Every structure is written in structure tokens, then in C-alpha cells.
Amino acid sequence: MKRNIYKGLVNSLALLSVAVGAAHAQQKGVGVKAPAGAEVYFDGSRKMLDDKWTYWEGPRLSATLPIKWYIVNDPAGKGTVLNTNDPAGAGGRYGAADIVTKDTFRDFRAHIEFFISKPGGNSGVYLQNRYEIQVLDGDTTSHGMAAVINETPSPYYAYKGVGKWNAYDFVFRAARFKDGKRVEQPMVTLYFNGKKVHVNHKISQVWGGPNSGIDGGNDGGKGITDTPGGLKLQAEGHEVLYRNIWIKRLDLKEPNTDF
């Protein structure tokens, strides 16, 4: 009798372990919903776009509020989504009509889904309005899809392609400073469509110059300051769509973003 009880307990624990593991695996990839403690930053509504986002006031800004990005029907799902094709960003003028969350962040966990409608579609997700995770169809270089721009190879193998939803899940840890000097580099771990593609990557600088983001024009992008920044999305005149954006604030005491 005791043996049967013990065996039943072992089996129950094994099933619980599998269930917990499956639930953990579902926390990354397309369709993941905001967990407890996270805040949704885009739910498909115009109201949330206007309430929680604004144009980034960089040196190249030429768009004016209200935001000219527009809400469209999801081409491969239900509900509505956000189209980046702001007229002010046409011709690849990044920084002319980029949008950024009104809230700013230091350490955080975030989820964002994107859909490239046509070959060559181009946008970008900026962590702390500084560090770009590239969104660029057709480019497999360090300037290409899902690269920490100019710093890592593109994990293009994880990309689902044009006409399909893709997902970034990442944990970011901001640079650390002591007596006004940077003592630890910013760091990121990224999952692309549920595949871990960058682990504890230390980011060296802001790339792209002053039109790219905070500190881009400071010492050639190497002069990082101790200023929190928002999550920014780039407009470059392409039909790139976004949906299901949420962020959870963290306080990472140790230099480790792996999850």
C-alpha cells in the first residue's frame, strides 16, 4: 500500500514538473500574454496608442501629434494592430517619426510582436531609446534581423518570414554608474520566436548617430549617460506592423539577464 502511495506521489510530481515546464516554455513567443506585474503598452486600440506613446523628440523629428501611425485590421489574426508607415518617415528617415513610450525604464522584461508585410520591410525596437534590436527583412548581417545592431550576428534562422507574426522576448539590464562613471555595460538576453538567440550580451554603445536615440550624438554614441529611457519603435516608411506589447519592470542586482 505504501509503495503504491509513494509511486502515485512520484508520478504526480513528475506530471507537475512537466506542467510547470510547459507553462514556462509558453512564456516566450507569438501570442504570449502579459504576466502578473506587467503593464500592457499596446492592445490594438487607438486610445492606448495616444495614452501611452508619443513621438521621440530627436533632432530629426518632423512629425506632429497626434501620432500619424495608424490602426489597421490584423492581416493574420483577430483584432487590430499598429502600422508604422508614418509619412514623415518615408525614405528611411529614422528619427523623423519614431514613437516611444511615455514611461521610461531601467531594467525590464518585455514582449513585442511584429509583422513585415513586404520584402525588405524595415523598422526597429529600441531598448531604453538607445539600443536597437533590428527588424529588417532580408538582411542576415550584424545589421540585420534580430541583431543587437552592429554588435551580434543576425539569428535569421529563427525568423518566420514576410506575412507572419514574429515575437521578441527580452530581459534588459541598464548600464550601472558610480560617481558619474559607467562601471557596468548594459546587457540583454533575447528570445526570437521562442528561441534563445542572444545571452547576456553586453552592449557597447548607441549606434546610428544623434537621430537614432538617447546619447547617439554623445561621443560618437559611446558617451552613455545614467538616464532611463522608453521603449521606442522606428518608422522608416515601411509596412511593418506591431501588436501585443507589454513590459514588466525589474530590479536586477546582478549583471545577469538570462531567463
Average pLDDT, the chain: 92
The pLDDT value given to residue 79: 97
Structure confidence at residue 246 as a pLDDT band (50, 70, 90): very high
CB atoms within 10 A of CB 44: 21
pLDDT reading at 16 higher than 70: no
Q: What is the pTM of this model?
A: 0.90
The pLDDT value given to residue 213: 97
CATH class as words, domain 34-250: mainly beta
The pLDDT value given to residue 20: 33
- Give every CB contact of residue 248 below 8 A, 6+ residues apart in sequence: 34, 35, 37, 38, 39, 108, 109, 110
Higher pLDDT pick, 26 / 58: 58
Structure confidence at residue 17 as a pLDDT band (50, 70, 90): very low
The pLDDT value given to residue 48: 98
Residue 238 near residue 90 (C-beta atoms within 8 A): no
